[in-house]
Amino acid sequence: MNEIVRGKNRIDFWLLGLTYGLLLVGLLAIYDATPIAALRNFGDKLYFFKNQLTWIGIGTVALTFFSFFDYHKLIKHSSLFLGATVVLLFVVLIPHIGTQIYGARRWINIGSFNFQPSEVAKLSLAFYSTAIMVKLQDFKIKLFDMIIVYFLPVIVVVGLVTIEPDLGTALILLAIAAAVYFVGRAPIWHFLISIPFAVAAAVGSILVQPYRLTRLKSFLDPSFDPQGASYQINQILSAITAGGVFGVGIGASRAKFAFIPEVQSDAILAIIIEELGFLGALFLIILFMILIYKALGIAKEAKDAEGRILAAGMAAMIAVQSLFNFASVVALVPLTGIPLPFISYGGSSLAISLAAVGVLLNISRHTTK
């Protein structure tokens, strides 16, 4: 009993320190990379930096809440959480309610505050999926039951996010659902049956949106439309090439002078690599690897199935999002707009990533070691 009490009072300072270390790197990168774009678009060279500080504050509140509010209670009410998220995902598609930017309708504005329901979906789907797998673990899991209570809700959430359109976040949601499914020890053949349908849906989503097909062509052939679809990835690769092994030096980036579109978001890593070189990128990769290793360790040491499965979902969220961002900036996968957790500019994404760390801290506190 005393061991459990000590566990509940324990805070994983390594996980917390790594998280805020990455946040500091992100703040410095945004401060360095965005003044030109911020001054041109908003008349304030510190616009992105100030907003990022604000969202770190909001995210810290979320981290604190999810660190101390018993995750078992959140899992118990996960159906309501997911239901509210689905409503928000429908609402964001309604004109004059959902805000449309660059052809995508992903944001809901409340005064000067805006957020992305698709980011909230990452948490709600993780909690709901965990609840289902925990309930079914003591029973012989039938395919029909899995389709109704697991696969169908996942399809609804992923489908709504894809319609926005936000294929990058849809992929993260699928990764979370898959991680929870496997850690929950469900029959693998159920999952294998779903793969052809998932592939068909992915191909269909590309064909029905011309810009996705164009982006795929630019990925396969960087010389395709160099002033259009291939412009961003070509500029990113030029910045990375210029960085070399040791980088051009902090503050000496040329790509940040309006050469890379939306440099503050999914392309911020290119500026970091240009200025700090391969060694800087390697250091950042190591930090993420340690963070993900800590998250997987929390999943392994969790005292119950709820903690083990939920922690795996949180680890998958951070790991897959990081992997996709790193892979996209070096042209291993097409650019999908997935931000780098804790580093890229972005309010809702940053707050949800910090909330995920809060969930991991919560599960860690409930271990008996």
Task: Give the residue carrying structure tokens 């042209």.
Answer: 331
Mean pLDDT of 37-50: 88
DSSP for residue 70: -
Task: Return the top range by mean pLDDT from 2-6, 88-92, 133-137.
Answer: 88-92
99 occurs within a structural domain: no
Indicate the range of 54-68, 97-111, 163-177, 259-273 predicted with least confidence: 97-111
100 occurs within a structural domain: no
Indicate the range of 135-149, 305-319, 327-341 predicted with least confidence: 135-149
104, β-bridge pairs: 101
60 occurs within a structural domain: yes
CB 308 within 8 A of CB 302: yes
Indicate the range of 19-33, 102-116, 160-174, 210-224 predicted with least confidence: 210-224
Burial class, 331, CB count within 10 angstroms (exposed 0-12 / middle 13-18 / buried 19+): middle
The token duo for 345 is: 């500019």
199 occurs within a structural domain: yes
Per-residue model confidence (pLDDT) at position 297: 93
The token duo for 331 is: 């042209």
The token duo for 226 is: 């160099």
Per-residue model confidence (pLDDT) at position 215: 66
DSSP for residue 345: -
Mean pLDDT of 138-163: 83
Per-residue model confidence (pLDDT) at position 6: 45
* R_g of the chain computed on alpha carbons: 21
Task: Give the residue carrying structure tokens 């995902």.
Answer: 89
Residue 322 clears pLDDT 90, i.e. is over it? yes
- 3-state SS class at 264: coil
22 occurs within a structural domain: yes
Burial class, 30, CB count within 10 angstroms (exposed 0-12 / middle 13-18 / buried 19+): buried
Per-residue model confidence (pLDDT) at position 211: 62
Higher pLDDT, 199 or 94: 94
Mean pLDDT of 321-329: 90
Residue 14 clears pLDDT 60, i.e. is over it? yes
Q: How many domains does the chain have?
A: 1
310: number of Cβ within 10 Å: 33
Residues of the domain holding 34? 2-84+112-365
Mean pLDDT of the residues in the chain: 84
170 occurs within a structural domain: yes
324 occurs within a structural domain: yes
Rounded to whole angstroms, the Cα distance separating 294 from 303 reads 16
Per-residue model confidence (pLDDT) at position 306: 92
Per-residue model confidence (pLDDT) at position 226: 58
Per-residue model confidence (pLDDT) at position 218: 66
Residue 98 clears pLDDT 80, i.e. is over it? no
Angle ∠(54,233,351) on CA atoms, nearest 5: 20
Per-residue model confidence (pLDDT) at position 210: 62
Closest CA to 303 of 359, 363, 360, 357: 363
Tens of pLDDT along 222-279? 666 556 667 777 888 888 888 888 889 888 888 777 667 777 888 889 899 999 999 9
Mean pLDDT of 298-303: 91
97 occurs within a structural domain: no
- 3-state SS class at 82: helix
Rounded to whole angstroms, the Cα distance separating 166 from 156 reads 14
Per-residue model confidence (pLDDT) at position 3: 41
Closest CA to 330 of 228, 249, 256, 239: 239
pLDDT tier at 212 (50, 70, 90 boundaries)? low
This prediction's pTM = 0.88
Provide, rounded to the nearest whole percent, the portion of the chain with pLDDT above 90: 42
Per-residue model confidence (pLDDT) at position 341: 93
Rounded to whole angstroms, the Cα distance separating 223 from 273 reads 23
pLDDT tier at 8 (50, 70, 90 boundaries)? low
Residue 57 clears pLDDT 80, i.e. is over it? yes
Rounded to whole angstroms, the Cα distance separating 239 from 267 reads 10
Provide, rounded to the nearest whole percent, the portion of the chain with pLDDT above 70: 84
CB 330 within 8 A of CB 240: yes
Per-residue model confidence (pLDDT) at position 2: 39
